[in-house]
Amino acid sequence: MIEKRVHGKLIKPYEVNADASGKVLENIKAALKKANLKDGMTISFHHHFREGDYVINLVMDEIAKMGIKNLVLFPSSLGKVHETLIEHIKSGVISEIHTSGLRGPLAEFISDGNMSKPITIRSHGGRARAIEAGEIKIDIAFLAVPRTDCMGNASGNGSKTQCGSLGYAIVDSKHADQVVLITDDLCDYPNMPRSIVQDNVDMVVVLDAIGDPEGIASGATRYTKNPKELKIAELASKVITSLEYYKDGFSFQTGSGGASLAVTRFLKDQMIKDGIKASFALGGITKPMVDLLEEGYVDCLFDVQSFDLTSTASMYRNERHYEISASEYANPSNKGCMASMLDYVILSALEIDKDFNVNVMTGSDGVIMGASGGHCDTAASAKVTIIVAPLYRGRLATVVDRVTTIITPGDSIDVLVTERGIAINPLRTDLVEKLKKANLPVVEMHELVALAKSIIGEPQPIEFDDMIVANVEYRDGSIIDSIRKRK
């Protein structure tokens, strides 16, 4: 028996017969057989384990051994750790992929046109929408869970692995035809509190290890010391505090990039000075947000994904740190997602163009290297959407004439904060006067584009083939852009 702490209290669970439910199986192969996996089916996974995930590779290897072909792979996202999927694409086990992100060798393989069918990129809200709308029918969901009981009450708080929120997995568990949990910590019944509920679970597979803790939560989040990023963060914080939405009970989301994270630090200093407290912080949760919660500067956290060890631990310690599903987070077609209540969102960009379109997906060489994530969801929803980005990175301009790939359309973006000035979307003329009054360095977007060119020079255009390797689906299901094979 394993002792657990829930909200600081020591909980002693009780022994039950692990197979009382009939759901517990000893390996993935048994689950594949019981689920009757067939050629052409759609199978889903989640990415809460990030670069520490063992499960996608383990399941796909087992499927390959069984000789199953033409599967549609529908994870919430993919990482570098999933490089081994290349072999399964080559051998025809996987014929179609839908994902939010793609990185590393697998991303290069796909960017090079090695799949006959283009992959589909979706935002987190868009994925939940597609599932709930029935556009994607998941035949079998294979969901890695750090702890579960024999009936399938599962949580992100295991004895071997911890991932905090299981927000993406919750959606799959509710809508997949069959749900297979994969764990390395089968605990006594009942496992409470739980993220995934037993009445949605068909099977529980118990393995020795489902993930690498190092890769799942990458230790403590450290603040950037990059002076450029700090300057951008400070300016972004001033944008927030200069607008009328900044008042007791305001809400915000920040990304997990360096400048984004640093915004919270500057913001907090100002909140202390002004005696202002926030109602909620949303999204991927990081240590700076947990600090705000624990110090009383934000009333509650809504967590679709816990990014670091602090946020993972906080979800089980702090009453007011709430797990939410990806649909609750950002699905544009339910009856009101939490993103729709955001006052501010601070987001990063690989590229932003003169029309404020943002690219967070493809690199300057045209290769897929990022993730759509909740970018377009929160940008469309928040009252004020702020992009924090340096004018250029190394020898590459960030502020450009035209982004390589549109993930978030320009009309969702209100403000761009760079180290060389703040550009305001002409659609938000209401903000111009306010920010100028606040003595913030407001400049025109075309000036930033020109400034970047003057420093970096005119970029070499990327050469693409005609072949489409990826379609980018906007949160509402429309195709907003395509990514072509690089030459």
Q: Which of 169, 338, 346, 435 binds a second copy (CB under 8 A)?
A: 338
189 lies in the site for a second copy, by CB under 8 A = yes
Q: Which of 235, 337, 379, 387 binds a second copy (CB under 8 A)?
A: 337
The one segment of 60-68, 217-225, 277-285, 467-475 that binds a second copy by CB under 8 A: 277-285
Q: Which of 7, 402, 446, 487 binds a second copy (CB under 8 A)?
A: 7
Q: Which of 319, 458, 463, 466 binds a second copy (CB under 8 A)?
A: 319
CB of 16 to a second copy, least distance (A): 6
Cα–chain-centroid distance for residue 394?
26
341 lies in the site for a second copy, by CB under 8 A = yes
Task: State the greatest distance between any 2 C-alpha atoms of the chain, in Å, as a whole number.
Answer: 70
DSSP track, 49-70: TGGGB-HHHHHHHHHHHHT---
5 lies in the site for a second copy, by CB under 8 A = no
244 lies in the site for a second copy, by CB under 8 A = no
> Which H or E run contains 174?
helix 167-175
193 lies in the site for a second copy, by CB under 8 A = yes
The one segment of 20-28, 62-70, 216-224, 442-450 that binds a second copy by CB under 8 A: 20-28
For residue 32, what are the CA distances in angstroms to 5, 76, 166, 173, 450?
34, 20, 23, 17, 57
**At CB < 8 A and 24+ separation, what contacts does 412-415 make?**
412/376, 412/379, 412/380, 412/385, 413/352, 413/356, 413/357, 413/358, 413/379, 413/385, 413/387, 414/384, 414/385, 414/386, 415/239, 415/384, 415/385, 415/386, 415/387
Q: CB–CB of 239/199 below 8 Å? A: no
Cis ω on the peptide bond leading into residue 193 (within 30° of 0)?
A: yes
Measured from the CB atom, is 11 or 220 closer to a second copy? 11
Measured from the CB atom, is 189 or 392 closer to a second copy? 189
Alpha-carbon gap, residue 24 to 31, rounded angstroms:
9
CB of 363 to a second copy, least distance (A): 35
Q: Which of 52, 101, 126, 152 binds a second copy (CB under 8 A)?
A: 152
**Interhelix angle for 287-294 vs 258-274, to 10°?**
20
**Interface with a second copy: number of residues (CB under 8 A):** 47
Q: Which of 320, 402, 437, 487 binds a second copy (CB under 8 A)?
A: 320
225 lies in the site for a second copy, by CB under 8 A = no
The one segment of 111-119, 327-335, 392-400, 432-440 that binds a second copy by CB under 8 A: 327-335
Measured from the CB atom, is 137 or 436 closer to a second copy? 137
199 lies in the site for a second copy, by CB under 8 A = yes
Q: Which of 40, 105, 249, 457 binds a second copy (CB under 8 A)?
A: 249
| Burial zone of 48 (CB within 10 Å; 0-12 exposed, 13-18 middle, 19+ buried) | buried
CB of 9 to a second copy, least distance (A): 7
CB of 295 to a second copy, least distance (A): 14
Alpha-carbon gap, residue 210 to 158, rounded angstroms:
11
CB of 321 to a second copy, least distance (A): 10
Q: Which of 108, 328, 419, 473 binds a second copy (CB under 8 A)?
A: 328
Q: Which of 100, 165, 183, 200 binds a second copy (CB under 8 A)?
A: 200
Q: Which of 51, 112, 202, 401 binds a second copy (CB under 8 A)?
A: 202
Cα–Cα nearest to 34, from 203, 206, 208, 196: 203
> Which H or E run contains 132?
helix 124-132
Q: What's the DSSP call for residue 196?
A: B
Cα–chain-centroid distance for residue 435?
30
Q: Which of 87, 248, 295, 433 binds a second copy (CB under 8 A)?
A: 248
207 lies in the site for a second copy, by CB under 8 A = no
The residues pairing with 323 across neighbouring beta strands, listed in sequence order, are 303
Alpha-carbon gap, residue 388 to 6, rounded angstroms:
37
What residues between 392 and 451 interact with a second copy by CB under 8 A? none
Q: Hey, is 464 helix, strand or coil?
A: strand
Decide the pairing of beta strands 421-424 and 442-443: parallel
Measured from the CB atom, is 114 or 340 closer to a second copy? 340
256 lies in the site for a second copy, by CB under 8 A = no
Alpha-carbon gap, residue 288 to 294, rounded angstroms:
10
Measured from the CB atom, is 282 or 483 closer to a second copy? 282
277 lies in the site for a second copy, by CB under 8 A = yes
Helices and strands (DSSP H and E) totals, the chain: 15, 28
Q: Which of 32, 58, 93, 151 binds a second copy (CB under 8 A)?
A: 151
Q: CB–CB of 132/334 below 8 Å? A: yes
The one segment of 19-27, 68-76, 391-399, 452-460 that binds a second copy by CB under 8 A: 19-27
Residues that bind a second copy (CB under 8 A): 6-7, 9, 11-16, 20-21, 23, 151-152, 179, 188-190, 192-193, 197-202, 248-249, 277-280, 299-300, 302, 319-320, 322, 327-328, 331, 334-338, 341
